[in-house]
A = this chain, B = another copy of it.
Amino acid sequence: MVDYDSKEWLRYIFSLHKGDTARKLGPVLLAMVVYCGVVAYVVIEYVHPGPDSDLKNIAIMHSLLGFVISTLLVFRTNTAYDRWWEGRKAWGSLTNNSRNLALKLVHILSADDVDSRAFFRAMIPNYAFALKNHLRADFQAGDLEACPGFNPASLNPDKHVPNQVAMHLFSKMDELYQSGTLRPEHLLVLNGEFSSFTEICGICERIHTTPIPYSYSSFLKKFVAVYCLTLPLGYVLSLHYWVIPVVAIVFYVLASLELIAEEIEDPFGTDANDLPTERMAGNIRKAVGDLL
């Protein structure tokens, strides 16, 4: 994630940050400029359409479809943002549940049960780190902390790693229940937090594996392409060579929206706009360490 102060307007307007779409769209924008230049050159120098030419009226189509394309792109923006925000909520909920679990366990576990405390102090944050890497299809044993009863090397990277960490957590909880440290009411009090881990993992997996339906994604790209490629035809007679910057700006705006949506809708990677899952997992480790 890019940290930024949203109030520094000037810097945003003139700088070209890593996450800026103007940068990524660079080559395509250039191609668009060349295409418009060619169209304008051919029409103006060779075709010489009269002032009554129908060509100008093609712009009717762009004004008829202008509503549709803007509302559709805002629909796209909305759904992508919703996923990003739902992913952020899931990680916020992981933080809350980790903290609450630590707050509850610190009093349930007796002060001299050093091993159990060390176990949960390591394993609760380990779940967050395992989840972060799982969502990046990555396995980093180094991210996980060893503790009495858990050795990161014992995990099977080919199977679902967060589930294996959860299995260790549930085993420990069962061990404490069998030994009478956890009483029945504790089981009920801790049930919400323990169940939440798998639920949060499921939410993140859902967002990660399910992009917007193929039809919409494909249709929107076709639509933007048809719209922008026909733009210079409709406007070359009214704008002449000015058609080049005008179409380039319109294309920049429309393509940026689709581009940002694509980047935002799966927020667990390492793109400029992705969620700082690494930092959040680190915060969980810090908070749990402070409490437990």
Write the residues of chain A forming the contact surface with B, with a CB cutoff of 8 angstroms. Answer: 1-2, 4, 6-7, 9, 12-13, 17, 19-22, 28, 54-55, 57-75, 77-79, 81, 84-85, 88-89, 92-93, 95-96, 99-100, 103-104, 106-108, 159-160, 163, 166-167, 170-171, 173-174, 183-189, 191-193, 195, 198-199, 201-203, 205-206, 210-219, 221-223, 225-226, 230, 235, 238-240, 242, 246, 249-250, 253-254, 256-257, 260, 262-265, 272-273, 275, 287, 290-291
Q: How far is the CA of A55 from the CA of B99 in the complex (A)?
A: 62
Q: How far is the CA of A218 from the CA of B84 in the complex (A)?
A: 17
Q: Which 3 A-B pairs have the closest CB atoms?
A: A107-B174, A96-B202, A2-B214
Known: A4-B211, A238-B54, A239-B54. A222 touches B12 (CB 8 A): yes
Closest Cβ neighbor of A211 among chain B residues: B6
Residues of B with C-beta under 8 A to A212 = 6, 81
Known: A64-B62, A290-B159, A291-B163. A74 touches B77 (CB 8 A): no
Q: How far is the CA of A58 from the CA of B60 in the complex (A)?
A: 14
* 15 pairs from A and B in contact (CB 8 Å cutoff): A4-B214, A4-B218, A9-B221, A12-B221, A64-B250, A68-B253, A81-B216, A88-B206, A96-B202, A107-B173, A159-B290, A163-B287, A167-B291, A215-B273, A226-B249
